[in-house]
């Protein structure tokens, strides 16, 4: 009885910290508070730009949050979750062979993407090591960007869904060999952190894995929260070694002040960019939304809106900080119609959240991907990015196979019942 009570308390804690409405409202309010109360002097010192203060922009930003919230509240929740994950196990058994096939196939494609993208490093390792030690990672990043092949090097994004599938198989079979595949994918993603400063490459793998695992072992939620918090403190403290020793900061700020203001800039610079879009960006510049740049690259279409945005940043703010926030992206792509999209995203998020709580396989796979957007809605939209195109594709195929099998078995059952009666 005590264990069951502890289980449900832990489960409720997990559902509270993954609640979409709480995450979006809380984090965006924090972003707005920091923007309002951090003096412009610190923004100039740390980000080399001035704050854009506009009542219109504040109103639009809040309206986007309200429309997302209304969409979330408009959609009814699915049936209440149960401790017994019968539905999850039933769904897994229906597509287990396909699940394993896609896990291995996507792992192979992930490795292929990294081999093509980083092949120069493997072939000329000593040369790149000397570059890293002498001129740093930025020069290597430029060389690697030249090696990118649209549609091929993006195979690395199969790593997201591959790691998810291997974790699900591990949870079902308890065979540790599947964890090895996940570790390999994470190590490869770390290369992008080293050479590109692309922390999202690791986060988009690790975050879904953590919250899939916790859905089935919620009693470990507090332990994971502590580890995440401790890890964040350690990683963030490394900023002291990277930038704090500059006389600009060392002589003017204590280490604690430096870390706080540096962190605040992640919120403030993104809101600044978002407000710049609200104020000056000419909407509907291109035929397609700019966030579909994946298709622009494949079909060699001109993406004028992105050039206009970069020019606006260069003229008004600091182009080094170029995130638009989820709401800035929606306005960037759809203008005032972006409110409708925010409403729809809120509704879809509610459905996936309920599905995650219910331990539905599709919610277990999709909602943790949406969590990356929810944890960073003040910075990025993510869920409409080409980064998640391949995960969506594999999950969609698995859903099709699942419902095809359900339909096939139902038809066969009806036929067998018919023959039994006649």
> How distant is the alpha carbon of residue 236 from its chain centre?
19
Confidence check: pLDDT of 64 > 50: yes
Within a domain: 420: no
Half-sphere exposure of 27 (CA within 13 A, CB side): 24
User: Residue 385 has what pLDDT?
Assistant: 85
Alpha helices in 118-254 (DSSP H): 119-123, 125-134, 137-146, 158-173, 177-196, 200-216, 221-237, 239, 247-250
Structure-token pair, residue 235: 């990683």
- Helix (H/G/I), strand (E/B), else coil: 136: coil
User: Residue 373 has what pLDDT?
Assistant: 94
- Give the integer Cα–Cα distance in Å for 385 and 154: 12
Within a domain: 373: yes
User: Residue 416 has what pLDDT?
Assistant: 58
pLDDT in tens, 277-290: 999 888 766 666 76
Backbone torsion region of residue 150, taken as left when φ is above 0, otherwise alpha when ψ lies between -120 and 50, otherwise beta: beta
Other CB atoms closer than 10 Å to residue 90's CB: what's the count?
10
Give the residue-averaged pLDDT of 136-144: 62
Q: Are 179 and 137 in contact (CB under 8 A)?
A: no
Average pLDDT, the chain: 84
First to last CA, the chain: 52
Confidence check: pLDDT of 18 > 70: yes
- Give the integer Cα–Cα distance in Å for 136 and 113: 24
Within a domain: 370: yes
Structure-token pair, residue 8: 């449900």
Q: Which of 97-101, 255-259, 307-311 is modeled with the greatest confidence?
A: 97-101
Confidence check: pLDDT of 274 > 90: yes
Q: Kindly provide the b/e burial profile for residues 347-383, where b requires at least 16 CB atoms within 10 angstroms of the residue's own CB.
A: bbbbbbbbbbbbbbbbbbbbbbbbbbbbbbbbbbbbb
Cα separation values, 175 from 93, 105, 171, 201, 203, Å: 17, 19, 8, 26, 24
Structure-token pair, residue 51: 């704050």
Confidence check: pLDDT of 298 > 80: no
Instruction: Tell me, yes or no, if the pTM score tops 0.85.
Output: yes
Residue ranges making up the domain that contains 158: 2-415
pLDDT over 70, % of the chain: 81
pLDDT in tens, 216-270: 999 999 999 998 888 888 777 767 666 676 777 777 788 888 888 888 998 999 9
User: Residue 65 has what pLDDT?
Assistant: 97
- What is the tally of structural domains in the chain? 1
- Give the integer Cα–Cα distance in Å for 419 and 412: 11
Structure-token pair, residue 198: 């692309």
**Angle, to 10 degrees, between the axis of helix 20-37 and the axis of helix 361-375?**
10
Within a domain: 158: yes
Phi and psi at residue 337, to the nearest 5°: -65, -15
CA angle 6, 25, 193 (to 5 degrees): 85
Give the residue-averaged pLDDT of 119-127: 72
CA angle 298, 302, 303 (to 5 degrees): 95
- Give the integer Cα–Cα distance in Å for 101 and 136: 40
Q: Which of 125, 27, 109, 103 is nearest to 68 (CA)?
A: 27
CB proximity list for 408: less than 8 A, separation 6 or greater:
none
Within a domain: 204: yes
Q: Which of 178, 165, 177, 175 is nearest to 208 (CA)?
A: 165
Other CB atoms closer than 10 Å to residue 16's CB: what's the count?
11
Alpha helices in 238-337 (DSSP H): 239, 247-250, 255-280, 293-298, 304-316, 326-334
More confident position, 160 or 89: 160
pLDDT in tens, 332-376: 888 899 999 999 999 999 999 999 998 888 999 999 999 999 999
129: part of which helix (H) or strand (E)?
helix 125-134
Within a domain: 421: no
- Helix (H/G/I), strand (E/B), else coil: 52: coil
Confidence check: pLDDT of 84 > 50: no
Q: Are 284 and 335 in contact (CB under 8 A)?
A: yes
Q: Are 359 and 26 in contact (CB under 8 A)?
A: no
Within a domain: 422: no
Within a domain: 11: yes
């Amino acid at each position: 009885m005590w264990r069951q009570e502890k289980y449900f308390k832990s489960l409720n804690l997990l559902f509270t910290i993954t609640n979409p409405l709480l995450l979006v409202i809380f984090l965006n309010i924090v972003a707005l508070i920091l923007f309002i109360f951090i003096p412009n002097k610190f923004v100039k010192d740390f980000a080399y730009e001035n704050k854009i203060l506009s009542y219109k922009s504040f109103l639009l930003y809040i309206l986007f949050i309200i429309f997302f919230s209304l969409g979330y509240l408009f959609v009814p929740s699915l049936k209440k979750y149960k401790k017994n994950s019968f539905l999850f196990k039933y769904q897994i058994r229906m597509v287990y062979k396909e699940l394993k096939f896609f896990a291995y196939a996507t792992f192979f494609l992930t490795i292929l993407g990294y081999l093509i993208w980083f092949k120069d490093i493997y072939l000329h390792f000593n040369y790149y090591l000397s570059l890293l030690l002498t001129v740093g990672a930025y020069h290597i990043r430029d060389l690697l960007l030249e090696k990118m092949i649209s549609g091929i090097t993006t195979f690395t994004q199969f790593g997201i869904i591959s790691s998810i599938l291997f974790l699900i198989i591990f949870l079902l079979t308890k065979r540790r060999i599947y964890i090895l595949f996940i570790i390999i994918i994470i190590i490869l993603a770390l290369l992008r952190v080293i050479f590109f400063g692309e922390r999202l490459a690791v986060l988009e793998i690790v975050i879904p894995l953590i919250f899939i695992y916790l859905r089935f072992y919620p009693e470990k939620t507090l332990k994971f929260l502590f580890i995440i918090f401790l890890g964040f403190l350690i990683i963030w403290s490394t900023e002291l070694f990277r930038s704090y020793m500059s006389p600009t900061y060392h002589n003017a700020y204590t280490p604690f002040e430096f870390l706080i203001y540096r962190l605040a800039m992640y919120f403030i610079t993104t809101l600044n960019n978002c407000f710049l879009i609200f104020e000056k960006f000419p909407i509907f510049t291109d035929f397609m939304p700019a966030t579909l740049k994946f298709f622009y690259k494949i079909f060699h279409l001109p993406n004028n809106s992105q050039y206009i945005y970069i020019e606006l940043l260069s003229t008004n703010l600091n182009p080094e900080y170029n995130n638009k926030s989820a709401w800035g992206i929606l306005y960037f792509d759809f203008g005032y119609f972006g409110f409708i999209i925010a409403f729809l995203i809120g509704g879809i998020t509610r459905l996936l959240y309920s599905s995650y709580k219910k331990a539905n396989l599709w919610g277990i796979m999709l909602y943790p991907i949406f969590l990356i957007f929810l944890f960073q809605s003040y910075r990025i939209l993510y869920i409409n990015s080409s980064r998640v195109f391949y995960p969506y594709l594999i999950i969609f195929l698995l859903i099709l196979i699942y419902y095809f099998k359900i339909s096939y078995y139902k038809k066969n059952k009806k036929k067998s019942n018919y023959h039994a009666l006649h």
